[in-house]
Structure 1
Amino acid sequence: MAISKKGMRRITVDERVYLWRSFDEYDQGWFNGVQVIVAALDQEMFLRYGLGQPDERRTAVVSRGRGAPGIRTACPKFERDGEVFTPQVVRDLIDWGLAVAL
């Protein structure tokens, strides 16, 4: 299945293209509130991270491969002060996701 590119930003990490976007959503998935979703263009990795999570319960969802289930795992804080999410923060999230998913 193809990934919809509408509203997505593009970032390249280690010669692999990823699409990402932030959005605000409640009662529809893994996190409530502002979230960031990252998908490898080749659909070999998906990440989802909720902004503003409490330190003691901060998690992200990582999925490796098409159709693989998402695994919720503890993670570091990625957003900067004031809940800012920049391309560098997305790159940090991708690097973390690759290390966790291997």
Structure 2
Amino acid sequence: MMAISAKGKRRISVNERVYLWRMFEHYDQSWFDGVQVSVAAVDQALFVRYGLHQPDDSRTAVISRGRGAPDVRTACPRFEGEDRVLTPQGVRDLIDWGLAVAL
């Protein structure tokens, strides 16, 4: 199993599992255009990608249960606040949601 690089990523623990996450802006070469967050469990058991500032009626996230598993795009709630800022609590909520959906 190949390790996930921690360079440029923040660490967050949810339910005693460590995740790495980063925010970045990308266009035309990813699931979402614009600002997005990518989360990966250090043990590679879960990957989640979410685009910020999506319209309420078409908001989605992409989930994978592990390296090599298929990506699944599914409807999701908003994880950034009314101020359009994603906080560490929003990242925790995204991870909790991803774990519930991926089961």
TM-score, with structure 1 as normaliser: 0.97
Aligned length: 102
The one-letter code matched in structure 2 to 1:42 is: D
Runs of 4+ aligned residues of structure 1 deviating over 6 Å after TM superposition are: none
Kindly provide the CA deviation profile for residues 16-70 of structure 1, in whole angstroms up to 9, marking residues without a partner as x: 0000010000011100000000000000100000000001100000000221111
Where structure 1 has 5 or more consecutive residues not aligned to the other structure, the ranges are none
TM-score, with structure 2 as normaliser: 0.96
The residue number in structure 2 matching 1:20 is 21
The residue number in structure 2 matching 1:4 is 5
For 1:22 and 1:83, the matched residues in 2 are separated by: 13
1:14-93 alignment runs, 5 A limit: 14-93=15-94
Task: Name the SS of the counterpart of 1:17 in structure 2.
Answer: strand
The residue number in structure 2 matching 1:98 is 99
Q: CA deviation at 1:2?
A: 1.6
**What is the root-mean-square deviation of aligned Cα atoms in Å?**
0.7
For 1:83 and 1:61, the matched residues in 2 are separated by: 20
Q: CA deviation at 1:76?
A: 0.3
